[in-house]
Structure 1
């Protein structure tokens, strides 16, 4: 019978379960269940059966490389099972950096079938993970992609902004104190979702010259970027776009509508 392996990672921000399954001996108790996620401590729990010590150390070494030496808890047992040809080599290929983008999910490996479950930020990320694994393995392996897109990171940003408008001094790219307070909340939200790539999109109302508004919207987006960098967000995580008056969310026919159109949009990117 083939080896049985469970790898589970838990943390406050991200959970991942990777499982390689086969039939267990009938007289062996099912003692490899994954414990519930920890709310405070990020950890990787590896349990199950592997055919030899070399396979066990290879799996643990790969996990420690991905998640850190002190994050891996070893519950893997050795003996009593066999594995397909080059199984250990193929598991190393599956346990690559892309699997860290799967949240609250599983990777199930049963013989030469790999089943991916869980949440990813966008459909294209899920497709990339599946294709990355498929191209790294021999044609004898099949990939079943059951990953679903989740906008939880974007929802976190939207919730932090809470329909508020980052305010600037009239006609300039200088932040008001109210605008700074909102950006303090946004910096905390970006850190909460592990500081991914975020695009800062500046918008204006339609008053005045369009070309000038394009320049002003970009200048304001750049001001926001500089402020967030000062709050500890890595510069490489932040990009800026000036959209000017081209994407209003309210009518420009009223003062209230124009005020809502003068805004900074925070958009999570892959």
Structure 2
């Protein structure tokens, strides 16, 4: 069943790509839904192939129908050309292609990134296509990292700098977000609670920040843009007198410099 927003496409070839929560989070199960009506199986196969190469097989949800719709000349080639890496810079995104009318909406890190994505989209098309864009800036690169971390704690095994599987899963998402911030330098700041000797906690916080950097590098983030520092127990965000407060204080902070 087509989404309501596709009913107007009944007579023309159309596609509707909804990128879900955060396009860049390619390691998560966030779905990328593609729906609409295309004129033949070859077009459907080509679109799905490009999307799966970009986002991974497990994320792409196929709701495309093959129907007796009219497509502009070379529509197949133009549509697949639009599906490129720049789309991964858009969060909460929608790409709507209705014949030769194209509309892109969603969230980007900043205005310059939005301009880059829109230019890339137009470059894939010929002048007969009308492209409109409603890309919103999320308040800069720091906001992008903050939204991705979403107030979660990067977890380590107790008393060590070894990441837990849950900690790795969060860093997978952060790696994707860090790739969006481009060449900005980001400080990875380790924090601990106040239990134990201060110097030991400073050393542990530094070791954990270093582990995070190493892991992010393994996920393709450029290490030259990452700095590490250990603050130990000196900058708490919660009361160390409670278990909950201590858990909040044991954290990794991502700060755009």
Q: Structures share a fold, TM > 0.5?
A: yes
Shift of 1:224: 8.8
Aligned counterpart, 1:153: 144
Aligned counterpart, 1:10: 20
Aligned counterpart, 2:73: 85
The answer on whether the counterparts of 1:48 and 1:77 sit within 8 Å (CA) in structure 2 is yes
Superposed, which structure 2 residues align to 1:156-167 within 5 Å?
A: 156=147
The 1-side partners of 2:35 and 2:255 are apart by 40
Using a 3 Å threshold, how does the CA distance of structure 1 residues 237 and 81 change in structure 2: closer, same or farther?
Answer: same
Aligned counterpart, 2:185: 199
Shift of 1:110: 2.4
Superposed, which structure 2 residues align to 1:92-111 within 5 Å?
A: 92-111=80-99
Q: Give the counterpart of 1:56 among 34, 44, 60.
A: 44
Aligned counterpart, 2:104: 116
Q: Give the counterpart of 1:237 among 213, 222, 227.
A: 222
More moved, 40-49 vs 61-70: 40-49
Shift of 1:194: 3.5
The 2-side partners of 1:76 and 1:4 are apart by 9
The 1-side partners of 2:148 and 2:46 are apart by 38
RMSD of the alignment, in Å?
Answer: 3.9
After TM superposition, the score normalised by the length of structure 2 is 0.58
Shift of 1:112: 1.8
Using a 3 Å threshold, how does the CA distance of structure 1 residues 118 and 223 change in structure 2: closer, same or farther?
Answer: same
After TM superposition, the score normalised by the length of structure 1 is 0.55
The 2-side partners of 1:199 and 1:48 are apart by 41
The 2-side partners of 1:64 and 1:124 are apart by 27
The 2-side partners of 1:51 and 1:62 are apart by 17
The answer on whether the counterparts of 2:102 and 2:129 sit within 8 Å (CA) in structure 1 is yes
Shift of 1:156: 4.3
Deviations 1:150-205 (A, max 9, x none): 143243489869xxxxxxxxxxxxxxxxxx9xxxxx99865443341461469xxx
Aligned counterpart, 1:183: none
Q: Unpaired runs of 5+ in structure 2?
A: 1-10, 153-160, 162-166, 189-205, 228-252
The answer on whether the counterparts of 1:112 and 1:140 sit within 8 Å (CA) in structure 2 is yes
Paired residue total: 186
The answer on whether the counterparts of 2:145 and 2:174 sit within 8 Å (CA) in structure 1 is no
The answer on whether the counterparts of 1:187 and 1:233 sit within 8 Å (CA) in structure 2 is no
Helix, strand or coil for the counterpart of 1:81? coil
Helix, strand or coil for the counterpart of 1:5? strand
Aligned counterpart, 2:62: 74
Shift of 1:267: 0.8
The 1-side partners of 2:100 and 2:148 are apart by 40
Q: Unpaired runs of 5+ in structure 1?
A: 17-39, 162-179, 181-185, 203-221, 242-263
Using a 3 Å threshold, how does the CA distance of structure 1 residues 2 and 159 change in structure 2: closer, same or farther?
Answer: closer
Helix, strand or coil for the counterpart of 1:75? strand
Shift of 1:61: 1.2
